[in-house]
Chain A
């Protein structure tokens, strides 16, 4: 517990130092506020426009979470297919790499054309961009089972279903969580990027990415900073939520999920 407090205190100290540095830069270089607003102006913007900030945050949270859940479901299903045989993996694995390397910015207009502007398109973009890490990690987890464990199951005449549900799937859970942790960050990036293109079907209502774009055209730089800050908070919440779930499901048996102070 003490260690956690120290970590939090350290992070807070760094944050305070950054705010001071930010203010110093404003004073020394006399930056105009529309280029770089003061920390105080950003804080004021957060308070003054809290309802709309929260609304944007909620939209982005919903879209990225939707995309993330879709990639977990689809990713695990695809991994189950990949785990069946080496041939299937050889044939299909290049396409998951393709999924990772296609620049999402390049296909965003296409998705916009297919689905139309709005939350569904953004959710889809978040899904596409966060799918590959789930597939890759889960597949690895499913196929890296110790050969002797498989032999043990075979010695007891285990059915294919027993092999899957009592051996391969539980074995893959730690790797799945690694995949989800990576995917959660990417899904958020995907959602915000998607919103820059297809953020809203109605003017003035949209997620963080849409509102950032809107604020920049209006030169509301203080609000833009508030939105970026909100996006950061959302990203942190995702990572912490995944880490908590990981700890909750794995701490009893898996080394990686042990709390640091018990070691």
Chain B
């Protein structure tokens, strides 16, 4: 194994984050995410889940401690990171196609590469038929798929997702989860996923990190040893339900603390 591949994708060492008047949001976070992992971060509101993603992306600096992304500072690693937000955050004045191509356009990729990549991704998320439509004409699930395609268009090595499916109805959400795993099987990226839903975290992840609130600390971290590829049927297996029950239990512990 070469030295480069042993460098973790994300490494937090004693990271603390506090805002303005000294309100501590995250306290002494030590977290290592290896390449190829899909880590879900769950925890009650106010535990700083979203702040973890903001720190990884370099959108906000840590108050103390160091963060390394693939051995680089978050700012330097930005080109290798894509962020999917809770809302689809599409530009309403652009067609679906131009929205998907936005990242490449901002990074000044050649128009040939942009066209090819955009077309390929529209197909990948099955939006090729509405490529020329405007976001307001799409359903919530389609908007989210466009948002995912946009994030994947810049070929990220690390994908950060901040409750991307929270606003969708349960059936759409389940389908989007299956689709996300399909995309992950095709494109090798490392995922960090923030969610409120324990079942969603279990279904998607190779590992779950549970945060406790006030201030945010890592309460527990455990592997999800369910085999890939995972399909909708997985949700009916007793192993799945057992893991959901266990995760829910740990989450309650975190809240009581």
Interface residues, chain A, with chain B CB atoms under 8 Å away: 146, 148-149, 151-158, 162, 166-167, 170-171, 173, 252-255
Known interface pairs A151-B85, A253-B135; A156-B107 also in contact (CB < 8 Å):
yes
B240 in contact (CB, < 8 A): no
User: Which single member of B78, B93, B105, B136 contacts A157 (CB below 8 Å)?
Assistant: B78
B135 near A158 with CB under 8 A, answer no
Counting chain B CB atoms within 10 Å of each CB, the highest count among A148, A152, A162 belongs to: A152
Per the bound structure, the CA–CA distance linking A151 and B86 in Å amounts to 12
Interface string of B105-133 (1 = CB under 8 A from A): 11100000000000000000000000000
Per the bound structure, the CA–CA distance linking A252 and B136 in Å amounts to 9
Across the two chains, which residue of chain A brings its CB closest to B94? A253
Per the bound structure, the CA–CA distance linking A162 and B102 in Å amounts to 11
Per the bound structure, the CA–CA distance linking A10 and B107 in Å amounts to 55
Question: Contacts of B85 on A, CB cut-off 8 Å?
Answer: 148, 151-152
A sample of 8 cross-chain residue pairs with beta-carbon separation below 8 angstroms, ordered by A number, consists of A151-B57, A152-B89, A156-B103, A157-B107, A166-B102, A252-B134, A253-B93, A253-B135
Chain B residues 192-249 with CB under 8 Å of chain A are none
Question: Contacts of B57 on A, CB cut-off 8 Å?
Answer: 151, 155
A to B contact number (C-beta, < 8 Å):
55
4 new A-B contacts at CB < 8 Å, known A148-B87, A166-B106: A151-B59, A151-B83, A155-B83, A156-B154
A155 near B59 with CB under 8 A, answer yes
User: Which single member of A146, A154, A255 contacts B59 (CB below 8 Å)?
Assistant: A154
Across the two chains, which residue of chain A brings its CB closest to B92? A253
Question: Contacts of A156 on B, CB cut-off 8 Å?
Answer: 78, 102-103, 106-107, 154
B91 in contact (CB, < 8 A): yes
Question: Contacts of A254 on B, CB cut-off 8 Å?
Answer: 92-93
Known interface pairs A155-B57, A155-B83, A157-B79; A146-B106 also in contact (CB < 8 Å):
no
